[in-house]
Amino acid sequence: MCKNNPVCYKKLQCAKCSIMNSKKTYPVSWVVMQNTIQECFKSMSIDEKRLLILASPIARTIDATEKDAITITSEEFAKECGIKTNSAYSQMEEASKSLLRRYFSYGDNKKKTYCNWVIRAIYENGAISICFPDEVLLMLKEFDKLNPYTKYKKDIVLSLKKDYSFDLYHLAKKHQAMGQFEMSLEHIKNELGLPPSYDKLCNLKDRVIKPSLDEITANTDINLTYENIKKGRSVVGFKFTVKEKPKPKAMETGRDKNTIDMFCNLNDAQISKYSSILSKVSNISDLSTFPDYSTFAQWIANILRDPKSVREVTAKRIFTALHQYTDFKG
């Protein structure tokens, strides 16, 4: 478990043996992390989270080992995070020291292993070089069915300034394929690591949920809203709705004659049938960032139901595949 965090790092030992023969690759502009890291984010400061986010693409692209130092300069930290350069170095230093003190554990009653988040940190010439243990590098490099993960653009997540915005954005991206997710009040407080002062519903809404969702909607690629879940007259949780923002379109003088009327209406039975088929079509497999076919199929189903929920180019690929690789007639 993470220090001050009751979340166990499950399946780590099994995950070490599940390295994929052909790894998915992502550009350095993307942050890709196993969801296990998110479970430990809740006890971390915003600068600790920033260090891990900046380290993510570096560790992945150089295939880092415990011996490889991942270097982040104060200028890079300031530019990427939108903070002042003269305070960036001290913020990085404090964050790395905190990560050095943190640990998590994995295993069972017969054998349990404790591991620090950072092995060593070197401060030199306005830069910090960090060495991570294999267990942390695994969470930053390995992504498959046994290692569920979430990905997002680095510049988007680093535009967020509020502590809880990071966590709620990750949760939203994790559930984006579903279009929504629900959390009880206790689950929210545990997931975000909230102190007892947020036991009051008004404090939770006014100081955590509303400000974070407003910042996410204003600065990222998704719209994130919520509504109360009630049991009787009492609020027992929240239902969050996630929608990808449409990309701004260039001015068009007319409809593209090459764009066929592919955005057709399907009933629920058709959506269920064809989303399952399309999830296994190799021609669109690159669109999947999901751990299994069923989750990818749910994402496709949302697009078949509402093509405007994603970028037009993505919707076109899904509907083109529908016409070309299935028996759909419409």
Over residues 230-254, mean pLDDT: 80
Burial class (CB in 10 A: 0-12, 13-18, 19+), 13: middle
Domain boundary among 117, 144, 159: 159
Q: Identify the pLDDT of residue 160.
A: 94
**pLDDT over 90 at 242, yes or no:** yes
**pLDDT over 70 at 196, yes or no:** yes
| Domain identity same for 183 and 149 | no
DSSP state of 45: -
**pLDDT over 80 at 148, yes or no:** yes
Q: Please report, for the domain that includes residue 201, its CATH number.
A: 1.10.10.10
pTM (global) more than 0.75? no
pLDDT by residue (tens digit) across 32-66? 888 887 777 778 899 999 999 999 899 988 899 99
Q: Is residue 252 part of a domain?
A: no
| Domain identity same for 35 and 115 | yes
Q: Identify the pLDDT of residue 263.
A: 65
Q: Identify the pLDDT of residue 65.
A: 93
| Domain identity same for 153 and 179 | no
Q: Is residue 258 part of a domain?
A: no
How far apart are the C-alpha atoms of 291 and 40, rounded to whole Å?
A: 20
Q: Identify the pLDDT of residue 10.
A: 47
**pLDDT over 90 at 183, yes or no:** yes
Domain boundary among 128, 159, 190: 159
Q: Domain tally for the chain? A: 3
**Containing domain of residue 57, as a range?**
12-159
Q: Identify the pLDDT of residue 72.
A: 94
Q: Is residue 82 part of a domain?
A: yes
Q: Is residue 102 part of a domain?
A: yes
Q: Identify the pLDDT of residue 255.
A: 42
How far apart are the C-alpha atoms of 83 and 158, rounded to whole Å?
A: 11
Over residues 192-214, mean pLDDT: 94
Note whether 82 and 144 are within 8 A (CB): no
Q: Is residue 254 part of a domain?
A: no
| Domain identity same for 98 and 192 | no
| Domain identity same for 155 and 127 | yes
| Domain identity same for 58 and 107 | yes
**pLDDT over 70 at 1, yes or no:** no
Domain boundary among 212, 244, 276: 244
pLDDT by residue (tens digit) across 76-110? 999 999 998 889 999 999 999 999 999 888 887 88
| Domain identity same for 175 and 289 | no
Q: What sections of 67-194 are H helices per DSSP?
A: 74-81, 85-101, 134-141, 154-157, 163-174, 185-192
| Domain identity same for 173 and 137 | no
| Domain identity same for 122 and 174 | no
Identify the sign of the CA torsion 193, 175, 212, 92. positive
Q: Is residue 330 part of a domain?
A: no
**pLDDT over 70 at 17, yes or no:** no
| Domain identity same for 155 and 172 | no
Lowest-confidence pick of 77-86, 132-141, 143-152, 158-167: 143-152
| Domain identity same for 172 and 41 | no
Q: Is residue 18 part of a domain?
A: yes
3-state helix, strand, coil in the chain (%, to 5): 45, 20, 35
| Domain identity same for 226 and 278 | no
pLDDT by residue (tens digit) across 252-311? 444 444 444 556 778 888 888 888 889 888 888 878 877 778 888 888 988 888 888 788
